[in-house]
Every structure is written in C-alpha cells, then in structure tokens.
Amino acid sequence: MVVAASLALAGCSTVSSDAAAPNGDGVDAAQPLAGKTIGIAVVGTQHFWDREAFQGAVDEVTRLGGTPLTTDGNRDNTLHAQNHDIFLAQNVDAVITILGDASVDPKLQQLHDAGIPVFGVDHASEWAVNNAQSDNEVGGTALGKITGDALGGTGNVAVFNAFGTSLSFCGERYDAWKNELATDYPGVKLIEPELAEQFANAPDDARQQTLALLEKYPAGTIQGIHVACWDQPAIGVVQAIEDSGRTDVKVTAFDAGPDTLEIMSEPNSPFVGNIAQLPRKIATISADNVGKYFLGEEVEKVSYVDTIPVAGPDEATAVAKELGYTQ
C-alpha cells in the first residue's frame, strides 16, 4: 500500500522537535536532498514506535529538500518486503527501510544491485549503507540490572521471546539482558520453554498465554515475566496478572512508549522495568545519513542512539514528561 507523503498519523504523539534537524545531528549543507525522491518503507503504523520512526523519517527527508515516497506494510512482513518493489520500479534515489524481518533482505539486495542506496532503521543488512538503531546491548544490560534488583536477586522468570532469532536487534537486547542476570544475579532463573507472542494483536495474545502460565505456576513459583524485544505484549501480561490477583509477579520489557509508561506510573503496578527508546531521533538520524551520503561524506555502518532505563513508577512518570508524552 502506498501512503501519501503528507500523511498525518492520527493519535501520533511526538518527541518535541524544532525546524533544525529535530533530535538529529543535521547535515553540513542545506537541502542536500533537493530534487531527490526517497523511498520510506515501514512495516506498519499501528504501534507507537513504528509511527514515530516513520514520521521522523518523512519529516527529516522533507526538511532536507527531498520528496518522500512512502509505503506501509500494515504489520505484514511479506507485504512490507513486496513494497520495496515500488521503489525499484520508480527508480527512487535512496530508500529508508524501517523494521521488518529477513524477508526484506532480498529486496534490499535488488535495490543495492540497481545502484539505489539503502538505509536501515532497526534493520541491519549487508546491503544497507547504514543502520540507525538503539544501543541495544547497553539497554539490555541496564534492563537486566532493573530486573535483578526488582526481584531482589532471586526468582523464576518466564520470557516472551518470539523474535530473538529472526530480528537481530531483539537478539542483542535479550542476550545482553540474560548476560547481566547470569553475571550479577545468578539467583534469577529463566523458565523453559520460552513463550512466543504473536506479532499482530500482541496484547490480547500475551494476556491469554499469561493466564495459562499463572495457572501452571502458582504463587511462589514464578516471580517475573519479561518481554524480550518490545513492550506491547506486556500490556496483556499486566492485565492477566491483575485479573488473577497475582501481586507477586513483576513485569519488565523494552520500548517504553507513552501507553506502557502510563501503566508503569500507576501505584503498585506490576510493570516495574522498561527501556525507553527514541524512535523519532533514530529515523531522523537515518534521514540525515542519506543527506550526508549524497554530500559525499563518510557514513558509518551503524549509528547508535542512547536509551533511557526506566525503573518503577516515579521514573516512568519523569521519563514520560521528559519525552513530551505528558505535561
């Protein structure tokens, strides 16, 4: 599906920005993308992170003088991959690809072979000039510490990890989280087998799986549930815990958008740990890298963006305000 470049995404909260490269480093010359069409493919716009990254890329390409040609995969990786054919047919000047699994890579190779440079947003690929992403290892390590501290250094934790193998950034987060627990919190044990959340309708799916999990593990036998890659499933996990009256189980996850920070901010919330990402900044930097590329400047293979650890309700309230999600 092709989306108009001027698309206004309803309900899209944004990190505060200004006219000069919002949250990005900018480029050295004004309007380096003037006269150029830049394809921007996003896997979907249902999720806050995706919407923010998409809009950040569109806004920055436009600010740099380019014309965005955008597609939306509607949270379908196959459709997302196929959408890249549009950019090949239109012979765009460059492509920014946002998220997606390995099914996208053959399309990126075709673009590369056609001389169209590709830039990833949370999509590392040998065919991309650059991938802009969170510093997932640092974030995962910080989240491991939050988890270990919240559990007092001991307990059994179930893990939702559907994408640790298929998406490299998910694996980086999960591995760093596990390594931190193994190193500094050896009393925390992971329950096997892992759980696998659905990509679509993740909160409801995770809620149903968590209800079944809590039936299997009575009070005192499970102390935590961790969502390894993102935090939309954690919404359903929290609902199931509260519905079951299981105040003994704590929840941690990775993303910290406005909806999950709001849940964390509630008094006595079981959602005790998260890592806030800056998706608009990540995509803005990706668009800046496109501009630098066309200026003939060196572009690093990976652009890392800092994350913000969030532990407990007070930090959740403060971070939501810092990021402009609340007043």
Q: Which residues touch 199 (CB under 8 Å, ≥6 apart)?
A: 75, 77, 162
75/201 same-domain check: no
186/318 same-domain check: yes
Domain span at residue 85 reads 2-135+278-306
pLDDT at 327: 85
pTM of the model: 0.89
174/270 same-domain check: yes
Continuous H helices in 133-167: 136-150
The conformational region for residue 226 under phi > 0 = left, psi -120 to 50 = alpha, else beta, is: beta
Q: Kindly state whether residue 32 falls inside one of the protein's structural domains.
A: yes
283/145 same-domain check: no
pLDDT at 11: 30
- Summarised one tens digit per residue, pLDDT across range 72-98 is 999 999 999 999 999 999 999 999 999
Q: Rounded to an integer, what is the distance from CA 94 to the centroid of its chain?
A: 22
272/219 same-domain check: yes
pLDDT at 197: 97
pLDDT at 198: 93
Distance CA 233, CA 204 (A): 8
Element (DSSP H or E) covering residue 160: strand 154-160
Distance CA 46, CA 202 (A): 11
245/292 same-domain check: no
pLDDT at 21: 44
Q: Kindly state whether residue 327 falls inside one of the protein's structural domains.
A: no
222/257 same-domain check: yes
Continuous H helices in the chain: 48-63, 77-90, 105-113, 136-150, 168-184, 202-216, 232-244, 258-265, 279-294, 312-322
86/223 same-domain check: no
- Summarised one tens digit per residue, pLDDT across range 42-68 is 999 999 999 999 999 999 999 999 999
Please give the tally of structural domains in the chain: 2
| pLDDT < 70 positions in the chain | 1-28
86/157 same-domain check: no
CA nearest neighbour of 251 among 180, 146, 323 = 146
